[in-house]
Chains A and B, each alone.
Chain A
Amino acid sequence: EDQVTQSPEALRLQEGESSSLNCSYTVSGLRGLFWYRQDPGKGPEFLFTLYSAGEEKEKERLKATLTKKESFLHITAPKPEDSATYLCAVQPPDNYGQNFVFGPGTRLSVLP
């Protein structure tokens, strides 16, 4: 069964304290890995799509990277407004590109 895990489950950072979130997957033949941010009571907001190992994407304080078995979301000098749950999802190939498999998420709290 395809599995997506995320670590840590929760992370508390001081403002300005850089860190990384991990998304590991066992899907073979990955067709895409996606990062989302979700605020409480809202739908997830799309951040990045990665397709191949070695690929990197950046947006403001966030940078996403991809290897063959995992992805990292690096947060540089975070601010309190970066507090949210960060979800990763993978697109496996065997079901005709239909269903994303979501990880459980990492709850990030950035303290001022």
Chain B
Amino acid sequence: GAVVSQHPSWVICKSGTSVKIECRSLDFQATTMFWYRQFPKQSLMLMATSNEGSKATYEQGVEKDKFLINHASLTLSTLTVTSAHPEDSSFYICSARRQRNTEAFFGQGTRLTVV
């Protein structure tokens, strides 16, 4: 199977601090990784797409300076929420894909609460 591990599964942080979320493809190399945000009872909202070794492509309305994405290797991408505020509290999910036009596999998600 294809396993994507996301860590941490939940985090609580103080307003103004930064939080890093890791996404790893455990048994395959991912040419592309995606980061999503999901609000309660809503579908996935794509934040950004990243390819290994290149800058992430952010969706319209997503602040790239606030949501820093690094895709340093074919098995690891990180999302850093900088200077977090309560409105950043949400469920963040990553996914990874081996190659174009194939299915993506999702991590278990990270519940971020900013207090």
Contact = CB atoms under 8 A, between A and B. Distances in A.
Contact of A36 (B6, B100, B106): B106
Q: Is the interface of A mostly helix, strand, loop or mixed?
A: loop
Contact of B104 (A100, A103, A105): A100
Interface in A50-87: 87
Nearest to A51: B101
Nearest to A103: B43
Interface string B1-37: 0101010000000000000000000000000101000
B70 to A, nearest CB: 18
B100 A97 contact: yes
Contacts of A42: 108-109
Contact of B101 (A31, A44, A46, A102): A31
B106 A44 contact: yes
A41 B49 contact: no
Question: On chain A, which size bracket covers the interface?
Answer: 20 to 34
A43 interface: yes
A28 interface: no
A45 interface: yes
A105 B47 CA distance: 18
Nearest to B4: A43
Contacts of A49: 102-103
Contact of B46 (A36, A96, A99, A103): A99
A109 interface: no
A32 B109 contact: no
A91 B34 contact: no
A98 B109 contact: no
Nearest to A49: B103
21 contacts: A31-B101, A32-B102, A32-B103, A36-B106, A43-B94, A43-B106, A43-B108, A44-B95, A46-B103, A46-B105, A49-B102, A49-B103, A91-B101, A96-B100, A97-B100, A97-B101, A98-B49, A99-B34, A99-B49, A100-B46, A100-B104
